[in-house]
Amino acid sequence: MINVTQPYLPPLDEFTPYLEQIWKNKWLTNNGPFHQQFEAALCEYLGVPYISVFSNGTLALLTALQALEIQGEVITTPYSFVATAHSLLWNNITPVFIDVDPIFGNLNPLNIEAAITYKTTAILPVHVYGNPCNHKQIEIIAKKHHLKLIYDAAHSFGVKENGVSICNYGDVSILSFHATKVFNTFEGGAIVCHTKEMKQHIDDLKNFGFRNETTVIAAGINAKMNEVQAAFGLLQLKYIDQAIAKRKHIAELYTKELSEIKGIRLIIQNSKRITQNYSYFPIFISEQEFGKSRDQVYEELKQHGIYARRYFYPLISDFPMYSQLPSATKENLPNAHVLAQEVLCLPMYPDIDMNEVERVISIIKI
Ligand SMILES: *Cc1c(COP(=O)(O)O)cnc(C)c1O
């Protein structure tokens, strides 16, 4: 059996010294020594000024929206993991879906302005599969209309453009360190921001709103990362470059074998400016040209014990808590609907055997 992904784990014996240290410290959470070291190490690795780590990415999203005091309506994408829009609903904010570009599946900046109303306070785009959004265009529009800009960068750990982390754009960016992501701390997440003051505010919010022993500045939440996760993250950082290099190798084999097939489209990110993380390997199957539907290919792979995943199908806008929104119609989101019908993410993780990758390819080719 092969799954779409498998979490990357460093050698277990290398983790025991960290655990011994935690047992010695008897400091398990609340900005402990590993938490502090991990934040410093992440700033350095990612090349970002300030980061606050969280117990998971969804809590980071929820807290980011609180930190920026977002309310009313937020313009976002239907083509993402459901947590993107859920973070809005949990904050009593109305998501306004706009269509994505037909190639990468990222929010199309050309659709933003028409969706802005007097209630709009922010834009929440996603760098889908780790491919950078058109952040220049999006930023121009956000500035022009005085909107906050929050990037869901859950897929984008380590992604750079011209050597600059993609997490440096917008007011804040959110990362996820969930087991299924490129970089994991079992569960985990982070908010990247630009000022010391904002980091302080976010740090307070993730700890119930405590500024100090007796002062509570807001109705905060408990979203702190614990010492075991932080220590594990420090160890994971030693292996991340190696893990991404292995992913690249797999992506190259898929690309070589699948790029010439009629009816199968790959996302070819050939911009030399982009440092990729190869987080996913999506293919898009046109039933008309390929002769089989995406779902047929999905089922065939399954019969061979290969569990590819339809990221992202169904669209967020088709889930019951969103489908009644005026922006959730199929007419409003034509490109997103096509992508959701055609996409299949193939198995992609550092420890996959190359023979297994060959097997996936040969089943698709039959
Ligand atoms: C994984 C993911 C999240 C949620 O992160 P968790 O750490 O699992 O809570 C949010 N947005 C996107 C796009 C994701 O892929």
Specify whether 74 is located in the same domain as 207: yes
pLDDT in tens, the chain (366 residues): 999 999 999 999 999 999 999 999 999 999 999 999 999 999 999 999 999 999 999 999 999 999 999 999 999 999 999 999 999 999 999 999 999 999 999 999 999 999 999 999 999 999 999 999 999 999 999 999 999 999 999 999 999 999 999 999 999 999 999 999 999 999 999 999 999 999 999 999 999 999 999 999 999 999 999 999 999 999 999 999 999 999 999 999 999 999 999 999 999 888 889 999 999 999 999 999 999 999 999 999 999 999 999 999 999 999 999 999 999 999 999 999 999 999 999 999 999 999 999 999 999 998
Domain range for 155 is 2-98+106-237
Q: Is the CB of 84 under 6 A from ligand 1?
A: yes
Q: Is the CB of 176 under 6 A from ligand 1?
A: yes
pTM, entire model: 0.97
Cα torsion angle, 227, 21, 46, 256, sign:
negative
Q: Where among 210, 237, 264 does a domain terminate?
A: 237
Specify whether 196 is located in the same domain as 246: no
pLDDT recorded at residue 269: 85
Q: Is the CB of 56 under 6 A from ligand 1?
A: yes
Q: Is the CB of 189 under 6 A from ligand 1?
A: yes
Q: Is the CB of 185 under 6 A from ligand 1?
A: no
33 by DSSP, 3-state: which?
helix
pLDDT recorded at residue 366: 83
- 281-285 and 264-266: which strand pairing? antiparallel
Specify whether 110 is located in the same domain as 40: yes
CATH number where 23 lies: 3.40.640.10
Domain count, the chain: 2
Q: Which two tokens stand for residue 74?
A: 């937020």
Q: Which two tokens stand for residue 71?
A: 């309310």
Q: Is the CB of 155 under 6 A from ligand 1?
A: yes
pLDDT recorded at residue 270: 81
Going by alpha carbons, the residue nearest to atom 6 of ligand 1 is 57
Q: What is the 3-state secondary structure (H, E, C) of 35-46?
A: HHHHHHHHHHHH
Q: How many residues does the chain have?
A: 366
pLDDT recorded at residue 271: 87
DSSP bridge partners of 26: none
Q: Where among 202, 237, 272 does a domain terminate?
A: 237
Specify whether 20 is located in the same domain as 38: yes
Q: For 26-34, which contacts have Cβ atoms below 8 Å and span 24 or more sequence positions?
A: 27/227, 28/226, 28/227, 28/228, 29/224, 29/225, 29/226, 29/227, 30/207, 30/224, 31/203, 31/207, 31/224, 32/227, 32/230, 33/227, 34/227, 34/230, 34/231, 34/234
Q: Where among 212, 237, 262 does a domain terminate?
A: 237
Ligand 1 center to 188 CA (angstroms): 10
Specify whether 128 is located in the same domain as 146: yes
pLDDT recorded at residue 118: 98
Q: What is the 3-state secondary structure (H, E, C) of 133-160?
A: CCHHHHHHHHHHCCCEEEEECCCCCCCE
pLDDT recorded at residue 144: 98
Nearest atom (ligand 1) to Cα of 56: 7
